[in-house]
Amino acid sequence: MNLNQIASILDGAALHAKATQQVSHFRQLSLDEAYAIQSISIGRRYERGEKKLGLKLGFTSKAKMEQMGVHDMIWGRLTDQMKYQDNGELILGEFIHPRAEPEIAFKISKDIPEMISLEEASKFVDGLAVAIEIIDSRFENFKFSLEDVVADNCSSTGFCLGEWLPVNTNIKDIGIELLIDDEIIQSGNSNAILGNPWESLVAAARLAISNGEPLKSGDIVLAGAATSAVYIKANQTISAKAVGLGKCSLRVK
Ligand code: OOG
Ligand code: MG
């Protein structure tokens, strides 16, 4: 099976909310091939009219790496179709086995054509927000190798954002939580994200450049979850909260 065929299977699995078997069960992929599949598969979304909105990083915390049994940071693309309004509704039947995780989001204020340092990172950002990321692996039982999940656009499926706050809002060493029906289900600290969530932005800028798609003004970057992700069910209200960043919520139908 070639990379185009694998991309079609993964895109179809997402489109029809039907799980597929792990690619690594029938073909050994290199990481470069996995990113090539991601690129082809996201290209199909663009052909259907979706627009790129930014990037997400994954496995930037130990909690996530341990939960999923992988060992390296990954990145995927976000599109406009994945964005939900704060307090919006999410229809469970449109997903395979969705999970939610609390995140921190950056809004890019100017193009980042070159690698940036941690010290200068804030010059390229004009908004910080708490976020919920919805991940929905296209693989059966939410099980994958690192190459599988990269090919599957890092399980990217949806996200919602709280209010954008100014760039000098503190996001280091703050508590971040996932709540279901107002009960705290996961709680962590933002420093679990690469020691400092701003490091995620620096990494996203570098990865975007090395892939030939540098971050641009207006892009959104999700820093990666500080906690494990949680399966969501119908009739739940899912919220993410971070100290000083407020809250955002989604209602599951
Ligand atoms: C892959 C996506 C990981 C994160 O924040 O670490 C991710 C997955 O767990 O399915 O989004
Ligand atoms: Mg995530």
**What stretches in the chain show pLDDT beneath 70?**
none
Residue-wise pLDDT for 166-189, tens only, equals: 999 999 999 999 999 999 999 999
Q: Given this model, what pLDDT does residue 105 score?
A: 98
DSSP element (H, E) containing 34: helix 31-47
| Nearest-angstrom CA–CA distance, 247 and 87 | 10
Residue-wise pLDDT for 197-207, tens only, equals: 999 999 999 99
Q: Which residues pair with 123 in a beta bridge?
A: none
| Nearest-angstrom CA–CA distance, 130 and 245 | 6
DSSP element (H, E) containing 199: helix 197-210
| Nearest-angstrom CA–CA distance, 232 and 236 | 7
Q: Show the ligand 1 pocket: residues with CB < 6 angstroms.
A: 56, 58-59, 64, 68, 101, 133, 135, 137, 149, 154-155, 224-225, 229
Q: What is the pTM of this model?
A: 0.97
| Nearest-angstrom CA–CA distance, 186 and 63 | 11
Residue 86 near residue 218 (C-beta atoms within 8 A): no
